[in-house]
Amino acid sequence: MDCTELVEHSGYVARSIVRHKDSAPQQATDNVAEELPVALVYNGISHAVMMATPLDLEAFAVGFSLTEGIVTHNAQIHDVEVRVHRHSAEVHLRISAHAFAAMKERRRALAGRTGCGVCGIESLELLDLQPARMPAPAKRLVPSREVIERAVAALPSHQRLMRATGGVHAAAWCDAHGEILHVFEDVGRHNGLDKLIGHLAMQRVAMDDGFVLLSSRASYELVRKAARMNIQLLATISAPTSLAIRIAEQAGLHLLSFCRKDGYVDYTGAAPDAGGAAC
């Protein structure tokens, strides 16, 4: 480690800058989002190093463990210890013997970078592009413009780091009426989703009883993570990729993108059930 001292981080740092705009250059201070290497260590073995914002790292580690299939349930995580240093962080997890043995069998080198969730994967087979179809939820969420527009309009007020830096993504958990209940931010869009999922798992929130709103585009790994957790509806502010759409269709996940205050685009075309509950 670069420093033995444990420190607290705010999620951004102040930097002296020179702003060039309109008139003469001006000295100023700018807030910049923090990005640190975070090592995820399972039963003493370092399994992954992800670049992330050093906040909510326990939730991040739990969410990553679930969405990457390292554990199948939160109960398989027995202990989590977060160690945050000045320029790096470690999260030590103690997982069940069964989950640890399975992890060692398929262990691969992961070197996550901002905006990339599969860096370091050694072969195409490890990408897991054939998701099983999610079980039918007890109560289906059928999207409506009013619900999506309500969530989209409310999201900026929950984005503390975005207001400070202009450089992070947000992952929000919304109820069936579009009310935002939880929001997590990170320089990596997939990290933000992992933090949100980890928090929901630790709070034992039923993940088939609401939907996720992301401030980013819909890439394949975000859809795959959501499908693993049986999240039935994923809404994103920006565009989807073709693979994200295909994964969503295979898993039975409803994917909405280009979500704005005046509408959205439905990319999976899931038809509402007769008499289904409105989202």
Which residues participate in catalysis according to the annotation?
116
Beta strands in the chain, from DSSP E residues, in sequence order: 12-19, 26-33, 36-42, 45-52, 77-84, 89-95, 110-111, 169-174, 180-186, 211-214, 233-236, 254-260, 263-266
Q: How far is CA 259 from CA 103, 158, 223, in A?
A: 37, 17, 16
Q: Is the dihedral of CA 68, 189, 228, 84 positive or negative?
A: positive
CB contact at 8 A, 259 and 235: yes
What is the Cα–Cα distance from 140 to 232, expressed in whole angstroms? 8
The DSSP secondary-structure symbol of 127 reads G
CA–CA dist 149, 260 (Å, integer): 6
Tokens for 88, please give them: 């790096």
Q: How far is CA 65 from CA 59, 115, 127, 134, 160, in A?
A: 10, 18, 16, 19, 26
Tell me the helices (H) and strands (E) count for the chain, helix number first.
7, 13
185 three-class SS: strand
CB under 8 Å to 111, separation ≥6 — which residues? 48, 49, 119, 120
